[in-house]
Structure 1
Amino acid sequence: MADDLYDVTIVGGGPVGLFTAFYSGMRNLKTKLLESSGELGGKITQFYPEKTIRDIGGIQAVTGAGLVRALIGQAKTFAPAILCNRHVSGLERMPDGSFLLKTDNGEPHHTKTIILTAGAGIFKPVKLDVKGAERFESGNLYYTIEQLEVFRNKRVVISGGGNAAVDWANELAPVAERVSVIHRRDLFGGFERQVCEMKKLAEVFTPYKIKSLYGEGESIRRVEIEHADTGEMHWLEADAVIVNHGIYGDYGGILNWGLAMQEGRFVVNGAMETNIAGIFAAGDAVTYPHKLKLIAGGFAEGPVAVNSAAKYISPDAELMAMYSTHHERFTK
């Protein structure tokens, strides 16, 4: 499989990569998808499997895990090659213009075109910058939530003020005994409606930050918080602490390919073309004027990248695939 020549190789198995694989099959392109981690779903699988997603057209509400399951099923419609634990690093242009991708284990992958849907690269959470915090990481200090039931009837402290922190506070409020949100600024980064809901359901401390953690063994029992302006201290009893200070990513060897970048993202044009012919990109990995930073935006960018790849391979190819309602796979 590794030595076969593919039409399209998609690097990154998050939501956008999965939908891109489906659309590539719609174009009857021989498709491979490479994912660096052991699971598909990208950031959602790693950090937000139980978060409720509401900003996809036609889907009123779906959990992150539910969305990923549906996308995986859809992506497999045309039987692409899907390989996990493949961290792409090396790139070589072959004499015939095709590419040879290499993973960290030295495995080669031969392809005519590449579509990068790698998000921010390999995702890692920003850790809590408090002395001794790592001691509790195998206990009740969390950087992601996999099951809401873990927090039932518990006193939960959430540190963070972005969309995810606000959403988690609202999701946990009906489950936990108490939810306390600690944020170093008065303003939150979530949608206004969600922030208003959080302020009704949780006790909110702003502008505060976590100063110290106290506990026994691997379990936190109390959290000391400090007012950012006055230095005033408060204690909160806690059965669990959830930290959502953001995530950062690492593109690894892809940064050595010579791709144009801006603010840590790959620069593309309206056709999702990078500055290297034959390499395209979509989703959180890209930047261009007026980019829509939603999953729904990435779902549009992926097919555009596929259509551009199809034209790159065969200049006489159709501009886009037929509608799925007309595809023979779905009309039989």
Structure 2
Amino acid sequence: MKDIYDVTIIGGGPAGLYSAFYSGLRGLKTKLIESQEQLGGKVLLYPEKLIWDIGGHPPVLGEQFVKQLIAQANTFEPTILTGTKVDFVERENDVFALHTAQGEIHYSKTILLAVGGGIINPQKLTLEGAEKYEMSNLHYTVQSYQRFVGKDIIISGGGNAAIDWAVELKAIAHSVTVVYRNETLSAHEATIQEAIDAGVKIECNTSITKLTANTDKTAIQLVTCENSLTKQSYTRQIDEVIVSHGYNKEASLVFEPSITLPKKENYYFEGKATGETAQPGIFAAGDILTFEGKIHLLLGTFQDAANAVNSIKTYLEPTAYRNAMVSSHNEAFKEKNRSIIEKQLMRVK
């Protein structure tokens, strides 16, 4: 017998996790499927970065924020699967059949797409032998600042992530140099100025062309860079190499021909602020969804999620209220509120 869910969320980043919480709040039988082994999405790439732009929330480290999102997502005990990649979606009568790379089939009345920018695969440094240094001092993300204390660091890339890392690492490193292949950096002007003020050395029209190992061949010791305009090159000793060239968008999720979902830029699904797409029964939230007035911030992601879940609720139950009752008056939290208050009183005593 098929185990059919009211909604299956594809994607376990902020949009997917908040959708899981909100769909439980609305009494929907919920499943979340994430291709990576860990939940958290893109926030996992910046575990030690502070997140400031969430209303009413003090600055929080990315790592802690993910833990809080996961705890919130589990409030109403949804089914959560990690390390499971959905490859193909088709309709079987009135339900969707989601086929995974693992050979499983999951059944759902609706689908909520929350896959963000796609499966996160950093664009690698295309130099021969570069991959062998990934276990030592070649990095595609910064998991911990501690290893960079007092080091000479080179960062390849000119986007927001590269310059953010440059600013934050300059405070603890011996030196930070940013090389970027284009003429001008693509990061926000204020962040660029902050990097300059901090003493980060910035070299545009410059790329890393060669990596030279130390004597035991276990780590990079020398980096050769070349200026594309002057054709001049130099080699310098370095302790750590960070590459921030962006991420590949793997849009491998395929729908049967009868399921039509218009796209923008050949990846993002066009829809409405209510989370609806052109295909009845398929909704979207977060970065994967485009519509007029879209807010590309976490606060916008959470609004997307709530709107999409509310649309799913009324799609499945046309007579249901459009929005959930606010948490302060919602019966779903009655017992949970009592338990939290009792624990707080016990601490006071």
Aligned: 1:135 with 2:137 = no
Cα distance between partner residues in 2 of 1:231 and 1:53: 40
Counterpart of 1:324? 327
SS in 1 for 2:319: coil
How many residues end up aligned between the 2 structures?
Answer: 329
Counterpart of 1:265? 268
Task: Give me the identity figure in percent.
Answer: 43
> Amino acid of the residue matched to residue 251 of structure 2?
Y
> Amino acid of the residue matched to residue 74 of structure 1?
Q
SS in 2 for 1:252: coil
> Amino acid of the residue matched to residue 42 of structure 1?
G
Mapping for residues 172-191 of structure 1, pairs under 5 Å: 172-191=169-188
Q: Report the alpha carbon displacement of residue 291 of structure 1 after superposing the two structures with TM.
A: 2.0
Counterpart of 2:13? 14
Q: In structure 2, do the counterparts of structure 1 residues 115 and 330 end up closer, same or farther at CA, with 3 Å as the change threshold? A: same
Counterpart of 1:222? 222
Moved more, 196-205 or 76-85: 196-205
TM-score of the superposition, structure 1-length normalised? 0.94
Does structure 2 conserve the Cα–Cα contact (< 8 Å) formed by 1:137 and 1:218? Answer: no
SS in 2 for 1:241: strand
> Amino acid of the residue matched to residue 196 of structure 1?
Q
Superposed CA deviations along residues 52-75 of structure 1, whole A, max 9, x for unmatched, are 222222234222111101101111
Cα distance between partner residues in 2 of 1:14 and 1:90: 20
Moved more, 245-254 or 50-59: 50-59
The structure that has the greater radius of gyration is 2
Counterpart of 1:296? 299
Counterpart of 1:36? 35
Counterpart of 2:99? 102
Q: In structure 2, do the counterparts of structure 1 residues 313 and 84 end up closer, same or farther at CA, with 3 Å as the change threshold? A: same
Counterpart of 1:167? 164
Q: Report the alpha carbon displacement of residue 243 of structure 1 after superposing the two structures with TM.
A: 0.1
Cα distance between partner residues in 2 of 1:110 and 1:20: 18
Does structure 2 conserve the Cα–Cα contact (< 8 Å) formed by 1:54 and 1:60? Answer: yes
Superposed CA deviations along residues 172-228 of structure 1, whole A, max 9, x for unmatched, are 112222111111234333333222111122121123111211123131111111123
Counterpart of 1:54? 52
Does structure 1 conserve the Cα–Cα contact (< 8 Å) formed by 2:273 and 2:294? Answer: no
SS in 2 for 1:306: helix
Counterpart of 2:111? 114
Moved more, 3-12 or 304-313: 3-12
Superposed CA deviations along residues 139-185 of structure 1, whole A, max 9, x for unmatched, are 21111111111212211111111111111112211222211111123
Cα distance between partner residues in 2 of 1:141 and 1:3: 47
Mapping for residues 77-96 of structure 1, pairs under 5 Å: 77-95=75-93
SS in 2 for 1:28: coil
Superposed CA deviations along residues 76-106 of structure 1, whole A, max 9, x for unmatched, are 11111111111112223122x1212121112
Cα distance between partner residues in 1 of 2:255 and 2:193: 41
Cα distance between partner residues in 2 of 1:294 and 1:254: 27
SS in 2 for 1:301: helix
Moved more, 106-115 or 186-195: 186-195
Does structure 1 conserve the Cα–Cα contact (< 8 Å) formed by 2:176 and 2:201? Answer: yes
Counterpart of 1:75? 73
Cα distance between partner residues in 2 of 1:171 and 1:89: 38
> Amino acid of the residue matched to residue 281 of structure 1?
A
Cα distance between partner residues in 2 of 1:159 and 1:40: 27
> Amino acid of the residue matched to residue 259 of structure 1?
L
Q: In structure 2, do the counterparts of structure 1 residues 59 and 183 end up closer, same or farther at CA, with 3 Å as the change threshold? A: farther
Q: Structure 1, unaligned stretches of length 5 or more? A: none
Q: Report the alpha carbon displacement of residue 9 of structure 1 after superposing the two structures with TM.
A: 0.8
Q: Structure 2, unaligned stretches of length 5 or more? A: 339-349
Does structure 1 conserve the Cα–Cα contact (< 8 Å) formed by 2:166 and 2:176? Answer: yes
> Amino acid of the residue matched to residue 66 of structure 2?
V
Q: Report the alpha carbon displacement of residue 255 of structure 1 after superposing the two structures with TM.
A: 5.4
Does structure 2 conserve the Cα–Cα contact (< 8 Å) formed by 1:126 and 1:248? Answer: yes
Counterpart of 1:156? 153
Counterpart of 2:234? 234
Q: In structure 2, do the counterparts of structure 1 residues 229 and 59 end up closer, same or farther at CA, with 3 Å as the change threshold? A: farther
Q: Report the alpha carbon displacement of residue 251 of structure 1 after superposing the two structures with TM.
A: 2.7
SS in 1 for 2:90: strand
Does structure 2 conserve the Cα–Cα contact (< 8 Å) formed by 1:161 and 1:183? Answer: yes
1:210 aligned to 208, 211, 215, which one? 208
Cα distance between partner residues in 1 of 2:91 and 2:290: 24
> Amino acid of the residue matched to residue 224 of structure 1?
T
Cα distance between partner residues in 2 of 1:212 and 1:260: 43
Moved more, 125-134 or 53-62: 53-62
